[in-house]
């Protein structure tokens, strides 16, 4: 969840180095894919304190992105303390033992950098984008808050008030977000993915200063983090600076994740419906689905191909059937993200063409899906879907922020670099039969949930 | 042992720019002559598999529509991909998707813009397809009727921030084309017909008012070839001649504009007139705005967010349109706190007028404004947007250097003189959307 976008700058402020330079530590290497399989020239290594470092070169422009990802997110919040991961994310901008409150944001603003952070279910990421000559200062500040977090005492209350404003902006004012919140709370019976990243309001209000400080002490060590430096800088310089600023930070005790997991789900379909003027008209069919870390890799890859066959823009089978032939939907798409730490879901979303199409659309989605999984998955569709996936990934990786985000999330959630970068070869190995099998396995039963946004303004315009 | 991998893909071009001391700031833009008197701007970037094209037709935005046809350009933009091939837009969209051609349209008060992206390998099929988009507009009356009321009727249920902004625009620009609803009004929308859409390309989309930019793994010759194909069927001149719309300074609105919405958090918008773009005063205003509300070090941010925790965000920016320049600010806060935000905004404007800015503020603002250019270069889409924006505003290819030089040459005494003469908190106009009974425009 994004918290801020800083725009900004600072070359006139000279600060005493926060972290003393020490002898360079030895560097252990992580296995890398062979060069020919690594077209993005990504290199990685691990510092002795456990920090994984990735270097992604791109010399298009004199700009660099630094991202630090902690392998901890809102789904790791202690019971009754929902929202603490996100609360800490806010406080991380409010000062350290060495850097008074305000200096971080002032530095960012003064050099014209962009800075942001976001908490997700499984990870929390802090990043900055800036002109290349500021890398050292940015590393110094990011390493400082990893080791010496100590916010201004006044920040604990004011950041909580700010989060309440954020909650109102994202959830209170937004009926689509309320539908999403209700849907997740019902879809997951026991796993913490059922709890909003920002937290439940009532629990958020009770989180204390000590909760945040303890959380940082427990989880924000270098051995629980990944550093990515991407952009206009060579590998050797990245290595030297990473050693200088992050090398001296001591490792913390290793923490094992201890999340409650989902029980076996009942087969009956659960329904959630939100009726309002401002909710988007939609019918979602939500299915259980595996993820990369705990699932069968072949199944996950085959499901990714099936997602494209169903819902890849207007060439997808669902679109062609529900929008073009039956003319019952205005739009339809499929969504499957297996990059979560624990299994998440596979979602089909369709928007009814008129208010009167809701019921019929739900039935039509079901019948169409059955027909596709039973009769229509063939070699041509599978090969086309593979091409689309590979093309989209290549396109996505034209952006420094996209490729950084993809790599750190994958690594943080148990994938290895080689697998992630070998996506061309991985998808090439999947056969039509594999896709037919996963489609039967995961979609032969009705969806575990139907979530509907019933738009009353659509009713008005249809009348 | 560290493994080294030879760089073989990313060492393509290097935008030669120095950001900390602004010694030099140059983008590798090539100017390619194309059909008739036009020119295309090109940045070669082999690191992306895509070709990106930006096209803008100037003086074709919502403010330039003929009297009685208000909303026409917005409707054309909404229908642009629909009703092709005799009305079956799904088939047309499927062809586009098959070629991985992505198209976006953007209509502003002044201009109508189109963005295209596609894989280089599909260029031979995509370019002729783009060409047809501008000369083969076949729309059914049914499609027009189904789409023409969309934005107009949904306005009341729109996001409160958007409603606050739109409502205030309509008030401060009342009587001027910028004050019109881009979606049209109830009478003009009723008058829009399929024939209006059909004739729209010929009437408004011509070589004479086109700006076009390219980015991707293509050279000057390919750029010329693609551009000439696209332009081939465009008329040299627009059928409907339009005069420039008159320059306007937004008129302060004394009464608070309040719109009720049943939401827990209210949205606040405020507008203040600013000096005309590209004057010296404009640069002074730009510097002053950094101090007032542009960054997270600004007076507004620190007062409303850091010190009081009243908002998640509050910011101001200077909006420059061809016929007006103004400061636009926005914030959101829970209903009961709305008056506090209005008071803070008013107070910070007053402080700016009475105290001006310091030498430190000036240096900070100069570094901020020149340093932030780097963040606009992180991906191909941002880079083409930057150069196309410059071309649309008739700038030279060294526009970045000129901007940096202009910002760096600003003197403190000039900024403070400008603030003294220009800033008058009485000219602030506010709107709020939410549940805010009892709020008032703050006074001295």
Quote the percentage of chain B above a pLDDT of 70: 90
Residue A432 belongs to domain spanning: 270-462
Length of chain A: 463
Domains: count for chain A? 2
In DSSP terms, which residues pair with B316 in a beta bridge? B329
| B343 and B294 belong to one structural domain | yes
Q: Are B108 and B223 in the same domain?
A: yes
Residue A251, CB half-sphere, CA atoms under 13 Å: how many? 12
In a domain, A234, yes or no: yes
Q: Are B329 and B314 in contact (CB under 8 A)?
A: yes
* ipTM of this complex: 0.87
Which helix (H) or strand (E) segment holds residue A276: the answer is strand A270-276
Is residue A358 located within the same domain as residue A456? yes
Cβ burial of B302 (10 Å; 0-12, 13-18, 19+) is middle
In this structure, is residue A386 part of a structural domain? yes
Q: What are phi and psi of B8, to 5 degrees?
A: -135, -5
Q: Which of residues 90-129 of B touch A (CB under 8 A)?
A: 90-91, 93-94, 96-98, 100, 119
Q: Which residues pair with B268 in a beta bridge?
A: B331, B432
For residue A372, give the CATH number of its domain: 3.30.830.10
CA distance B214 to B219: 10
* Domain-embedded: residue A17: no
- Asked, for residue A252, whether it belongs to a domain, the answer is no
CB pairs under 8 A between A and B: 241
> CATH number of the domain that B44 lies in?
3.30.830.10
B211 CA: distance to closest CA in chain A (Å): 24
Residues A181 and A54 in one domain: yes
Residue A241 sits in the same domain as residue A337? no
Nearest to A234 by CA among A398, A113, A68, A59: A59
Of the candidates B139, B413, B49, B53, which has an alpha carbon nearest to the alpha carbon of residue A399? B49
Question: Is residue A309 a part of any domain in this protein?
Answer: yes
DSSP state of A236: H
| B417 lies in the same domain as B342 | yes
Distance from chain centroid for Cα B25 = 23
The answer to whether residue B183 is domain-embedded is no
Asked whether residue B333 falls in the same domain as residue B399, the answer is yes
Mutate to test the interface with A, among B52, B295, B298, B432 (most CBs of A within 10 A): B295
For B152, the enclosing helix (H) or strand (E) is helix B150-154
| Main-chain dihedrals φ then ψ at residue A92, nearest 5 degrees | -60, -15
Q: Is A89 a catalytic residue?
A: yes
Q: Name which of B20, B97, B310 is nearest A131 (Cβ-Cβ).
A: B20
Q: How many helices (H) and strands (E) does chain B have?
A: 17, 11
Question: Does A227 have pLDDT greater than 70?
Answer: yes
Residue A413 to residue A341: CA distance in whole angstroms: 5
Tally of domains in chain B: 2
Residue B126 lies in a domain: yes
Q: How far apart are CA A340 and CA A456, in angstroms?
A: 34
* pLDDT band per the 50, 70, 90 thresholds, residue A13: very low
Average pLDDT value for residue range A380-391: 91
Q: In this structure, is residue B296 part of a structural domain? A: yes
Q: Phi and psi at residue A244, in whole multiples of 5°? A: -65, -45
Residue A263 domain-assigned (yes or no): no
Same domain as B327, residue B215 = no
Of residues B48, B312, B380, nearest to A169 (C-beta):
B312
In this structure, are A122 and A217 located in the same domain?
yes
Check residue B140 and give its pLDDT: 76
| Portion 290-329 of B in contact with A at CB < 8 A | 294-297, 305-313
Q: How far apart are CA B167 and CA B335, in angstroms?
A: 18
Encode pLDDT of B294-306 as tens digits. Answer: 999 999 999 999 9
A48 shares its domain with A164: yes
- Same domain, yes or no: B262 and B226: no
Asked if the structure places residue B108 within a domain, the reply is: yes
Residues 382-411 of A with CB under 8 A from B: 388, 391, 394-395, 398-402
Let me know whether A196 and A95 are in one domain: yes
B318 beta partners:
B327
pLDDT mean over A150-168: 94
- Same domain? For A438 and A289 the reply is yes
Strands (E), A149-254: 225-231
pLDDT at position B444 is 63
Identify whether residues B302 and B338 lie together within a single domain.
yes
CA A147, A148, A150, A152 dihedral sign is negative
Shared-domain flag, residues A322 and A421 = yes
Q: What is the pLDDT of residues A257-272, one digit of tens each?
A: 889 999 988 888 999 9
Interchain contact B37–A (C-beta under 8 A): no
B251 lies in some domain: no
Closest CA of chain A from B43, distance in Å: 11
Query: Which residues lie below 8 Å from residue B327, measured CB to CB, with a gap of 6+?
Result: B271, B272, B273, B274, B285, B289, B316, B317, B318, B319
Instruction: State which H helix or E strand residue B413 sits in.
Output: helix B412-422
Tell me the average pLDDT across B207-211: 95
Selected catalytic residue, list A21, A52, A89, A136: A89
Q: What is chain B's mean pLDDT, rounded?
A: 88
Domain boundary among A211, A246, A281: A246
> Are the beta carbons of B3 and A43 separated by less than 8 Å?
yes
pLDDT value of position A14: 28
The residue from A246, A261, A293 where one domain ends is: A246
Pairing mode of beta strands A28-29, B30-33: unpaired
Q: In chain A, positions 322-341, which contact chain B (CB-CB < 8 Å)?
A: 323-324
Contact A128, A138 (CB under 8 A): yes
Report how far residue B74's alpha carbon sits from residue B77's, in angstroms, rounded to the nearest whole number: 5
Residue B414 and residue B323 in one domain: yes
pLDDT 10s digits, B108-123: 999 999 999 999 999 9
**Mean pLDDT for the stretch of residues A428-441:** 97
In a domain, A343, yes or no: yes
Q: B289 to chain A nearest CA, in Å?
A: 13
Asked if residue B50 and residue B135 are part of one domain, the reply reads: yes
The length of chain B in residues reads: 444
Helix (H) or strand (E) holding B283: helix B280-289
If asked whether residues B305 and B428 sit together in one domain, one would say yes
Residue A343's contacts (CB-CB under 8 Å, 6 or more residues apart) are A262, A288, A289, A290, A291, A294, A295
Whether B8 is covered by a domain: the verdict is: no
Instruction: Give a yes or no: residue B26 inside a domain.
Output: no
Q: Which residues pair with A449 in a beta bridge?
A: A270, A286
Residues in chain A closer than 8 A to B91 (CB atoms): 324
Average pLDDT over residues B222-239: 94
Residue A16 placed within a domain: no
| DSSP count for chain A of H helices, then E strands | 17, 13
Q: Distance (Å, rounded) from C-alpha A184 to C-alpha B365?
A: 44
Residue B354, domain member (yes or no): yes
Q: Is B259 helix (H, G, I), strand (E, B) or coil?
A: strand
Q: pLDDT value at position A33?
A: 40
- CA-nearest residue to A276 within chain B is B157
Tell me: the pLDDT tens digits for B289-344?
A: 999 999 999 999 999 999 999 999 999 999 999 999 999 999 999 988 999 999 99
| Closest of A39, A68, A63 to residue A126, by C-alpha | A68
Q: How many beta carbons lie within 10 A of that of residue B335, not counting itself?
A: 17
- Are residues B118 and B264 located together in one domain of the fold? no
B114, B225: one domain: yes
Express each pLDDT in A321-355 by its tens digit: 999 899 999 899 999 999 999 999 999 999 998 88
- Angle, helices A155-167 vs A84-91, to 10°: value is 120
| Residue span of the structural domain in which B59 resides | 34-148+192-231
User: Does residue B14 carry a pLDDT above 60?
Assistant: no
Confidence of residue A38 (pLDDT cuts 50, 70, 90): low
């Amino acid at each position: 969840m994004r918290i801020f976008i800083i725009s900004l700058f600072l070359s006139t402020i000279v600060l005493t180095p926060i972290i003393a330079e020490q002898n360079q530590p030895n560097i252990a290497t992580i296995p890398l894919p062979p060069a020919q399989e690594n077209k993005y020239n990504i290199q990685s290594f691990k510092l002795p304190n456990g920090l994984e470092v990735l270097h992604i070169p791109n010399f298009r422009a004199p700009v660099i992105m630094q991202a630090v990802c902690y392998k901890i997110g809102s789904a790791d919040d202690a019971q009754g303390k929902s929202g603490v991961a996100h609360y800490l994310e806010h406080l991380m901008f409010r000062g350290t033992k060495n850097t008074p409150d305000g200096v971080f944001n002032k530095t960012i603003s003064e050099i014209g950098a962009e800075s942001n952070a976001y908490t997700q279910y499984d990870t929390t990421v802090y990043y900055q984008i800036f002109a290349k000559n500021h890398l050292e200062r940015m590393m110094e500040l990011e390493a400082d808050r990893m080791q010496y977090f100590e916010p201004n005492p006044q920040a604990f209350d004011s950041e909580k008030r700010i989060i309440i404003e954020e909650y109102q902006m994202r959830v209170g004012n937004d009926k689509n977000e309320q539908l999403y919140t209700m849907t997740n709370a019902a879809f997951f019976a026991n796993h913490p993915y059922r709890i909003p990243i920002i937290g439940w309001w009532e629990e958020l209000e009770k989180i204390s200063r000590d909760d945040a400080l303890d959380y940082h002490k427990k989880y924000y060590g270098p051995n629980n983090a990944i550093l990515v430096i991407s952009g206009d800088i060579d590998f050797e310089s990245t290595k030297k600076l990473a050693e200088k600023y992050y090398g001296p930070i001591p490792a913390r005790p290793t923490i094992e994740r201890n999340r409650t997991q989902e029980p076996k789900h009942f087969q009956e379909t659960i329904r959630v419906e939100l009726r309002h003027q401002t909710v988007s008209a939609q019918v979602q069919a939500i299915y259980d689905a595996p993820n990369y870390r705990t699932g069968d890799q072949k199944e996950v890859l085959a499901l990714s191909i099936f997602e494209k066959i169903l819902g890849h823009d207007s060439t997808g089978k669902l679109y062609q059937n529900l929008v073009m032939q039956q003319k019952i939907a205005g739009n339809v798409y499929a969504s499957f993200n297996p990059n979560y730490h624990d299994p998440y879901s596979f979602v089909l979303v369709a928007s009814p063409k008129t208010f009167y199409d809701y019921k019929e659309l739900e039935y039509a989605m079901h019948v169409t899906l059955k027909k596709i999984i039973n009769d229509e998955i063939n070699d041509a569709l599978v090969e086309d879907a593979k091409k689309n996936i590979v093309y989209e990934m290549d396109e996505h990786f034209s952006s420094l922020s996209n490729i950084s985000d993809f790599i750190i999330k994958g690594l943080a959630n148990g994938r290895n670099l080689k697998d992630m970068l070998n996506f061309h070869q991985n998808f090439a190995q999947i056969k039509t039969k594999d896709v037919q099998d996963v489609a039967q396995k995961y979609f032969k039963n009705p969806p575990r949930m139907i979530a509907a946004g019933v738009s009353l303004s659509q009713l008005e315009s249809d009348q | 042992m560290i493994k080294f991998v030879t760089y073989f893909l990313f060492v393509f071009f290097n935008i030669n720019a120095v950001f900390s001391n602004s010694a030099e700031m140059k983008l590798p833009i090539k100017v390619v002559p194309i059909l008739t008197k036009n020119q295309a701007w090109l940045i070669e970037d082999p690191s992306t598999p895509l070709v990106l094209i930006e096209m803008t037709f100037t003086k074709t935005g919502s403010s330039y529509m003929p009297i009685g046809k208000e909303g026409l350009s917005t409707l054309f933009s909404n229908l642009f991909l629909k009703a092709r091939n005799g009305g079956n837009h799904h088939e047309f969209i499927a062809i586009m998707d098959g070629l991985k051609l992505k198209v976006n349209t953007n209509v502003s008060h002044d201009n109508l813009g189109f963005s295209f992206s596609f894989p280089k390998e599909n260029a031979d099929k995509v370019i002729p397809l783009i060409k047809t988009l501008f000369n083969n507009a076949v729309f059914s009356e049914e499609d027009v009727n189904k789409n023409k009321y969309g934005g107009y009727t949904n306005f009341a249920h729109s996001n409160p921030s958007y409603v606050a902004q739109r409502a205030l625009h309509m008030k401060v620009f009342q009587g001027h084309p910028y004050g019109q609803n881009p979606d049209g009004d109830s009478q003009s929308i009723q008058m829009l017909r399929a024939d209006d859409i059909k004739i729209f390309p010929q009437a408004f989309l011509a070589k004479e008012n086109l700006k076009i930019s390219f980015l991707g793994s293509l050279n000057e010759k390919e750029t010329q070839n693609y551009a000439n194909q696209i332009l081939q069927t465009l008329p040299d001149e627009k059928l409907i001649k339009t005069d420039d719309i008159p320059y306007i300074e937004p008129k302060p609105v004394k009464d608070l504009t309040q719109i009720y919405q049943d939401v827990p958090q209210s949205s606040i918008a405020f507008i203040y007139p600013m000096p005309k773009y590209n004057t010296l005063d404009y640069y002074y205003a730009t510097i002053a705005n950094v101090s007032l509300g542009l960054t997270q070090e600004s007076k507004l941010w620190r007062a409303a967010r850091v010190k009081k925790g009243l908002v998640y965000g509050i910011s101001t920016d200077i909006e420059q349109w061809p016929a007006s320049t103004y400061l636009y600010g926005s914030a959101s806060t829970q209903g009961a706190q709305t008056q506090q935000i209005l008071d803070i905004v008013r107070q910070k404007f007053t402080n700016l007028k009475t105290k001006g800015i310091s030498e430190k503020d000036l240096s900070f603002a100069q570094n901020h404004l020149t340093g932030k250019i780097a963040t606009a270069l992180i991906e191909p889409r941002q880079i083409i947007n930057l150069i196309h924006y410059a071309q649309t505003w008739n700038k030279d290819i060294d526009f970045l250097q000129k901007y940096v030089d202009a910002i760096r040459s600003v003197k403190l005494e000039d900024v403070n003189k400008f603030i003294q003469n220009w800033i008058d908190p009485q000219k602030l106009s506010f709107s709020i959307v939410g549940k805010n009974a009892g709020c008032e425009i703050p006074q001295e």
